[in-house]
Amino acid sequence: MSFSFVREQMVEPAPAPVNTAGPIAWARRNLFATPSDSLLTILAIVLLVWAIPPIYGFVMPNFLGGDAVPPGGTVEQCRVETAGACWAYISARMTFFIYGFYPAEEYWRPNLVFALGTLLIIPLAIPRVPFKRTNAILFFVVYPVVCFYLLNGGVLGMPSVPTEQWGGLLVTLIISLVGIICSIPIGILLALGRQSKLPIIKTLCIMFIELWRAVPLITVLFMASVMLPLFMPQGTTVDKLLRALVGVTLFSSAYLAEVVRGGLQALPRGQYEAASSLGLSYWKSMWFIILPQALKHVIPGIVNSFIALFKDTSLVSIVGIFDLLNTVQAASSDIDWSSPTQAITGYLFAGMVFWVFCFAMSRYSIWMERRLDTGHKG
Amino acid sequence: MAVQDNIAGPPRTAFYNDPVIRGIIYQLVVAGLVIAFLTWIILNTAQNLAAQNKSTGFGFLFETSGFGISFTLIPFDRSSYYWQAFVVGLLNTLLVAVIGIIFATMLGFVLGVARLSSNWLIARCATVYVEVIRNIPLLLQLFFWYFAVLKAMPAVRESFELPLSIFVNQRGIIVPRPLPDFEIFWVAVTAVLALVAAIAMVVWATRVRTKTGHYPAVVSRASRIAGLIVTFGVGYLAISLLGTVVPALSLGPVFPLIGALVLAGISLSPYGRYGRVFIGFAIGWAVANFLLGGMFAGLGEGIIVLGAALVALGIAWTMLSADRRSAATEGKLPLALPVLIVIALPALVYWVTGASLAFEIPVLERFNFAGGLQLVPEMVALVLGLTIYTAAFIAENVRSGIQAVSKGQTEAASSLGLREGDRLRLVVVPQAMRVIIPPLTSQYLNLTKNSSLGAAIGYPELVNVFMGTTLNQTGKAIEVIAITMLVYLTLSLTTSAFMNWYNARVALVER
Amino acid sequence: MSDISSNSAEERAINASQMKVSDTDVAIDVVGMHKWYGDFHVLRDIDLKVMRGERIVVAGPSGSGKSTLIRCMNRLEEHQQGQIIVNGTELTADLKRIDEVRREVGMVFQHFNLFPHLTILQNLTLAPIWVRGIPQAEAEATAMHYLERVKIPEQANKFPGQLSGGQQQRVAIARSLCMQPKIMLFDEPTSALDPEMVKEVLEVMISLAEEGMTMICVTHEMGFARQVANRVIFMDQGQIIEQNEPETFFSNPQHERTKLFLSQILH
């Protein structure tokens, strides 16, 4: 049977049939593919129609069609029965939410801290910008010291502002940044210790890591608040914020140790062997060869730890420190702005701030992960 | 190299360069530093405690507590001891953890599967849920539920009333309290035994199916009879419910009875599926009517009934095409029988022994409800917050577990002719579970640890009762903190041990 | 079953290539088939009649649509225009028909796709038990028969992770054979194997051809095409450019694209 065939005329690409491409086809495939699919779509639409308009009306101000009171409004407007979110209350107390009890005439100091931080983080986060080592040293070593003196004062003629007056978003950022900055080196040492062949060091590191990972952060904060004064020599007082920082750092370093350990384990054995065959000592091979590669791999993991830490800073409100959540909570008993929607508006605001920070960081983490993956393909 | 072989033995290095000696020196130094540090801390602590005239010791556990607790599972009052307070706190923690784990798992699995759905809208909704909830601190969510939602509930006098006599107000959720009499014990035992029997029957039937190629004849025949009974029962329910939507149909109990008999009869004929479709339509209409009426109270009743009818038609159409597309029902596991066993046997015992399960309906009296069971808002908010928060993380675990099963596995199973149900059960789910379970147990542990946040909203769990109130009153900081941390440490180590055991057991065997 | 050990590889290949092809029994009939991925026209105007007993090799540059074509034949991919009729059943969205077709068509994948959580024996008996309802003892006997056929009966109770690539692919072939299919589709079965294992898999495929199995192979192994195939199809840009018997195809290609392709892969 003959089936030999040679094509004379090549077939040019034709557009896909109307019912398989374009918006109608898309809707058919993705929303109404099968009857049960269609049913789910209808139920989802019903649910959205029920839920979204009331939420929109509550959140959006008048000029966008909602019931909320825009920033700059009055408390009387908020007290009206049909009023939505009281954004006027937020805008009125905004400085409290950002700076806490920091004296208003010294706002330039926290503002400088914010500006410096942004200036240092952005080039650090973009992989293509050079001078990473200098950048890192500036950000991880110099910046915290500068911030401390700026905020605390007492030098260069700046009036002293005790930590009890720091509050709001400022404190949240301080705790999370200091937490992550201090816990990275500790976490690295712990991870190396856990990998070590020396039994005493290995056991101590494992015990330390497992202990802090097993207990809730709130117990760690309580512990830090209550027990730290007992551990210090008689007569010394430990600053309240410092206690929380110590607790958060210990807690976070245990989790970071596991993240770094994952990076160390993912490195091929060949790297370790190459380093030692070059005659490098343990610490030199770590510093020059192993750690740079391992840490680069776990940048997404470190960012994820930072996101978790950022969310966990809200717990310090339980030990009486005025982070963003606690300032919102405290302000909700402000009589001047009392209205039916005062509390919920405050929570919405805090929620949005946290969400914006955390979502942006998680997107960055995913982007870094993808970039690191493709850098190693093939 | 050969010529230079050292006859005198290995080269001698200075003893401080020998790696083994170095290792020992490092360890001794580290150990020494740690011991020195701990000693310093202990000395300071002893000094500080002496200066404050505080003693150490666990004797305080047997002193009277002097405080009350708002929600306890065991009897507790002001004259109870501190160790009893510890037990109350621990039980409250475990209670919230167990309830939270159950609900979070159910919600998390649904969301995880939804995120992978081919339905664009469902997948996006699930994604929005996960991305919003994951990026907001749990404490903030708890405050939201507790202060903004539950505390904003109406006063006791204007409580929301839900069906089944459930009331929602500022003081919490009040449900009817079950008042079982003694015979209920037999019903409960029967229910458990029936469940075990049903599972055993399914396992046995599957084994016979594997060995011989078809389900045991006994099971098939009994299942057909069970199917009839189930159709009758569900048909009765469907037609009765139809009466709520179309009042003209509720002509006394005879009408549903006859209707159910007709439906059961039809199910035996080749047109059985139309009967099932009608049942689906009827129940769907009634439920949709109820729900839509609740959600869109403003719209006219006619519109709601119409909308509900459309939804019901959609359900009917779905069932009809699902029936047509599925292959011969012979291949499917006869489910009607085990379901019937689980429901019917306890019901039989219930009827025979004359057991009764009364409910104490809460009744609004002058200032509060009398009777009924009150779920305090602290607990409701904590369970709600924990469930919603943890479900988002579980959803991500489930999603990555399902995605970890490579597409080639489903393709190979499909190309062998396996239908979707068997494909999922035999190929996809076993592999997905291996990837899902370890992080899932982590999430369970996280949920248990996060229950400690209940302290912030006043729920009397372990941290609140023991590390909060007890520590404040007795001042025994070190002992209390040590005990609390020990509890969490135990929970955590147990979970790790389980995870290691599970991983070792199901690890895919490789060269 | 032919005695594998007595004949040399070449003799068996010659045996295989001389198997009779049916004149009247159409195994697969593809008529005017077009397929799009979104807006990309991936398969254009495919007309193909596969008779019972044919051994077809589909060759072409990557991206030509050859894998997509055979994946449409057991509905792992859907076509938008035209007809595909397998063993007399037309492939449409009807699930019952798709199941019918898949029961009679076996497929072997480039990456084996064995079920890693089941033993080799369980891999082989899974489909016969749950799709055809064959009792377990009988399914296991069939499985052992095919395991001996692919020369690895001793691995029956091991897990896929413990086998080499070549062994895994042979198990994959045996797994498809346990369903007693009428047609076997091979999607680059040796592309993921180390060179020393390619031969053992090709030998199994040759012995299948010797038995008269209808086979469609997407492969780069031109030696196999020359020795065993009765028809070679060259595809490029989603369409069939040329098809012919192997000797004519390799010695006297007509179309320029065919000539270009052959010059690149044969030195």
| B363-364 and B369-370 strand pairing | antiparallel
Contact call for A35 and B122, based on CB within 8 A: no
Structural domain total, chain B: 3
Q: How far is C85 from chain A (nearest CA, A)?
A: 19
Q: Are residues B375 and B442 in the same domain?
A: yes
- Maximum distance among all Cα pairs of chain C, rounded to whole angstroms: 55
CB proximity A324 to B under 8 Å: no
Contact call for C161 and B427, based on CB within 8 A: no
Low-confidence ranges of chain A (pLDDT < 50): 377-378
Q: Are residues B88 and B27 in the same domain?
A: no
DSSP for B460-504 reads: --HIIIIIIIIHHHH--HHHHHHHHHHHHHHHHHHHHHHHHHHHH
CB A369 within 8 A of CB A304: no
Interface test with chain C among A4, A26, A30, by most C beta carbons within 10 Å: A4
- The pLDDT value recorded for residue C134 is 92
Q: Are residues B375 and B496 in the same domain?
A: yes
What is the enclosing helix (H) or strand (E) of A70? none
Pick C131's closest partner by Cβ from B418, B427, B431: B418
Q: How far is C236 from chain A (nearest CA, A)?
A: 10
Interface test with chain B among A219, A236, A243, A352, by most B beta carbons within 10 Å: A219
Pairwise CA distance, residues B279 & B366, whole Å: 45
Residues 83-112 of C with CB under 8 A from B: 94-96, 99, 102-103, 105-107, 109, 111
| pTM assigned to the model | 0.87
Interface test with chain C among B215, B220, B415, by most C beta carbons within 10 Å: B415
Helix ranges restricted to H, B246-363: 254-268, 272-295, 301-325, 336-352
CB B362 within 8 A of CB B176: yes
Q: How many CB atoms lie within 10 A of CB B485?
A: 20
Pick C255's closest partner by Cβ from A3, A7, A11: A7
* Residue B349 is assigned to a structural domain of this protein: no
Q: Are residues B47 and B87 in the same domain?
A: no
Q: How far is B118 from chain C (nearest CA, A)?
A: 16
Contact call for A5 and C34, based on CB within 8 A: no
Pairwise CA distance, residues A93 & A107, whole Å: 15
| C183-187 and C105-108 strand pairing | parallel
Two structure tokens written together for B418: 């396996």
Q: How far is A8 from chain C (nearest CA, A)?
A: 8
CB proximity C90 to A under 8 Å: no
Two structure tokens written together for C104: 């009679």
Residues paired with B174 in a beta bridge:
B167, B374
Q: How far is C15 from chain A (nearest CA, A)?
A: 19
Contact list, C244 vs chain A (CB under 8 Å)? 3-5
Q: Are residues B376 and B502 in the same domain?
A: yes
Contact list, A45 vs chain B (CB under 8 Å)? 121
Task: Give rounded-to-5 percent helix, strand, coil for chain B.
Answer: 70, 5, 25
- The pLDDT value recorded for residue A376 is 55
Q: Are residues B401 and B497 in the same domain?
A: yes
- The pLDDT value recorded for residue C158 is 94
**Burial of residue B215 (number of CB atoms within 10 Å: 0-12, 13-18, 19+):** buried
8-state DSSP, C186: E
Pick B467's closest partner by Cβ from A201, A222, A359: A222
- The pLDDT value recorded for residue C166 is 94
Structure confidence by residue, pLDDT tens digits, B266-291: 887 877 788 888 888 888 888 888 88
Interface test with chain C among B211, B326, B416, by most C beta carbons within 10 Å: B416
Structure confidence by residue, pLDDT tens digits, C72-106: 999 999 999 999 999 999 999 888 889 999 999 99
Amino acid type, A250: L
| C55-59 and C214-218 strand pairing | parallel
Please provide residue B458's backbone torsions phi and psi, each rounded to the nearest 5 degrees: 90, 15
Which domain covers residue B90, as residue numbers? Answer: 82-161+371-506
Contact list, B212 vs chain C (CB under 8 Å)? 135-136
Contact list, A17 vs chain C (CB under 8 Å)? 36, 80-81
Q: Are residues B413 and B500 in the same domain?
A: yes
CB proximity C147 to A under 8 Å: no
- The pLDDT value recorded for residue A132 is 81
Q: How far is A19 from chain C (nearest CA, A)?
A: 9
Q: Are residues B101 and B34 in the same domain?
A: no
- The pLDDT value recorded for residue A328 is 93
The mean pLDDT value of chain B amounts to: 84
Q: For residue B1, what pLDDT band results from cuts at 50, 70 and 90?
A: very low
* Residue B348 is assigned to a structural domain of this protein: no
Chains that touch B (3 or more CB pairs under 8 A): A, C
**pLDDT over threshold 80, residue B311:** yes
CA gyration radius, chain A: 28
Contact list, A9 vs chain C (CB under 8 Å)? none
Lowest average pLDDT, out of B99-103, B328-332, B397-401, goes to B328-332
Pairwise CA distance, residues C238 & A108, whole Å: 67
Pick C133's closest partner by Cβ from B214, B413, B506: B214
Contact call for B213 and C129, based on CB within 8 A: yes
- The pLDDT value recorded for residue C4 is 47
> CA of B481: which chain A residue's CA is closest?
A223
Q: How far is A25 from chain C (nearest CA, A)?
A: 10
Q: How far is B332 from chain C (nearest CA, A)?
A: 10
Interface test with chain A among C21, C36, C235, C237, by most A beta carbons within 10 Å: C36
Two structure tokens written together for A225: 């608040």
Pairwise CA distance, residues B404 & B438, whole Å: 14
Instruction: Output the CA torsion sign for B102, B103, B106, B112.
Output: negative
User: How many residues can be counted in chain C?
Assistant: 267
Two structure tokens written together for B390: 């943890």
- The pLDDT value recorded for residue B496 is 87
**Burial of residue B17 (number of CB atoms within 10 Å: 0-12, 13-18, 19+):** exposed
The candidate with the shortest Cα–Cα distance to B115, out of B436, B397, B430, is: B397
Pairwise CA distance, residues B414 & B421, whole Å: 11
CB proximity C21 to A under 8 Å: yes
Pairwise CA distance, residues B263 & B235, whole Å: 7
**pLDDT over threshold 70, residue B323:** no
Residues 9-48 of A with CB under 8 A from B: 30-31, 33-46, 48
CB proximity C93 to A under 8 Å: no
Contact call for A16 and C231, based on CB within 8 A: no
The candidate with the shortest Cα–Cα distance to C58, out of C42, C45, C71, is: C71
**Burial of residue B68 (number of CB atoms within 10 Å: 0-12, 13-18, 19+):** exposed
DSSP for B193-256 reads: HHHHHHHHHHHHHHHHHHHHSS--HHHHHHHHHHHHHHHHHHHHHHHHHHHHHSGGG---THHH
Structure confidence by residue, pLDDT tens digits, B83-100: 888 999 999 999 999 999
* Residue B360 is assigned to a structural domain of this protein: no
- Say if the ipTM goes beyond 0.95: no
* Residue B188 is assigned to a structural domain of this protein: no
Q: How far is A126 from chain C (nearest CA, A)?
A: 35
Pick B27's closest partner by Cβ from A200, A314, A315: A200
In the three-class reduction of DSSP (H, G, I as helix; E, B as strand; rest coil), residue C47 is classed as strand
Pick B412's closest partner by Cβ from C113, C131, C159: C113
Instruction: Classify residue A226 as left (phi > 0), alpha (psi -120 to 50) or beta.
Output: alpha
Q: For residue B313, what pLDDT band results from cuts at 50, 70 and 90?
A: confident
Chains that touch A (3 or more CB pairs under 8 A): B, C
User: How many residues can be counted in chain A?
Assistant: 378
Structure confidence by residue, pLDDT tens digits, B4-29: 454 555 566 566 677 788 888 888 88
- Kindly list the strands in the beta sheet with C231-236, ordered across the sheet, starting from the edge strand earlier in the chain: A5-6, C239-244, C231-236, C55-59, C214-218, C183-187, C105-108
What is the enclosing helix (H) or strand (E) of A350? helix A342-374
- The pLDDT value recorded for residue B12 is 60
Contact call for B211 and C137, based on CB within 8 A: yes
Pick A198's closest partner by Cβ from B26, B41, B44: B26
- The pLDDT value recorded for residue A99 is 92
Q: How far is CA B491 from the centre of its chain?
A: 18
* Residue B260 is assigned to a structural domain of this protein: yes
Percent of chain B with pLDDT over 70: 94
Contact call for C109 and B325, based on CB within 8 A: no
Instruction: State which of B323, B345, B361 marks the end of a domain.
Output: B323
Pairwise CA distance, residues C123 & C130, whole Å: 12
- The pLDDT value recorded for residue B274 is 84
Pairwise CA distance, residues B284 & B275, whole Å: 14
* Residue B439 is assigned to a structural domain of this protein: yes
Low-confidence ranges of chain C (pLDDT < 50): 1-4
* Residue B142 is assigned to a structural domain of this protein: yes
CB A327 within 8 A of CB A197: no
CB half-sphere exposure, C203, CA atoms < 13 A: 20
CB proximity C134 to B under 8 Å: yes
Q: Are residues B37 and B88 in the same domain?
A: no
Q: Are residues B317 and B378 in the same domain?
A: no
Q: Are residues B254 and B138 in the same domain?
A: no
- The pLDDT value recorded for residue A378 is 38
Pairwise CA distance, residues C105 & C97, whole Å: 12
In the three-class reduction of DSSP (H, G, I as helix; E, B as strand; rest coil), residue B179 is classed as strand
Pairwise CA distance, residues B401 & B289, whole Å: 37
Q: How far is B344 from chain C (nearest CA, A)?
A: 30
Q: Are residues B102 and B46 in the same domain?
A: no
Instruction: State which of B288, B307, B323 marks the end of a domain.
Output: B323
Contact call for A21 and C243, based on CB within 8 A: no
- Maximum distance among all Cα pairs of chain A, rounded to whole angstroms: 104
- The pLDDT value recorded for residue B13 is 59
Residues paired with A155 in a beta bridge:
none
Pairwise CA distance, residues A216 & A315, whole Å: 11
Task: Give rounded-to-5 percent helix, strand, coil for chain C.
Answer: 40, 25, 35
CB B234 within 8 A of CB B279: yes
- The pLDDT value recorded for residue B511 is 65
Q: How far is CA A55 from the centre of its chain?
A: 26
Contact call for C237 and A14, based on CB within 8 A: no
* Residue B239 is assigned to a structural domain of this protein: yes
Chains that touch C (3 or more CB pairs under 8 A): A, B
The candidate with the shortest Cα–Cα distance to B90, out of B503, B496, B476, B463, is: B463
Q: For residue B487, what pLDDT band results from cuts at 50, 70 and 90?
A: very high
Which CATH number belongs to the domain containing residue B385 in this structure?
1.10.3720.10
Q: Residues 6 or more apart from B84 whose CB is under 8 A from it? A: B65, B74, B76
CB C51 within 8 A of CB C76: no
Q: Residues 6 or more apart from C80 whose CB is under 8 A from it? A: A16, A17, A20, C34, C35, C36
- The pLDDT value recorded for residue B283 is 87
Q: How far is B137 from chain A (nearest CA, A)?
A: 5
